[in-house]
Amino acid sequence: MTDDSPLKHSGIILWLTGLSGAGKTTIAQYLEHKLREGDRPVERLDGDAIRQHLSQELGFSRSDRDTNVRRVGYVANLLNRNGVIVIVSLISPYRTVRDELRSTLHNFVEVYVNAPLEVCEARDVKGLYAKARSGQIKSFTGIDDPYEAPLNPDITCNTAAETVEESVAKIMTWLEAAGYLQGSERFASANSDRAFQHISP
| Neighbouring C-alpha atoms within 13 Å toward the C-beta of 42 | 20
Is there a catalytic annotation at residue 63?
Answer: no
| 112 contacts 155 by C-beta, under 8 angstroms | yes
User: DSSP characters for 131-193?
Assistant: HHHTTSS-S-BTTTB-----SS-SEEEETTTS-HHHHHHHHHHHHHHTT-STT-HHHHHHTTT
Radius of gyration of the chain (CA): 17
Three-state secondary structure call for residue 197: coil
Q: Phi first, then psi: give them for residue 150, nearest 5 degrees.
A: -60, 140
Catalytic residue among 92, 167, 192, 200, which?
92
User: DSSP characters for 5-38?
Assistant: -GGG-S-EEEEEE--TTSSHHHHHHHHHHHHHHT
Q: Which residues contact 105 (CB under 8 A, 6 or more apart)?
A: 2, 13, 73, 76, 77, 80
Q: Which residues are catalytic?
A: 92
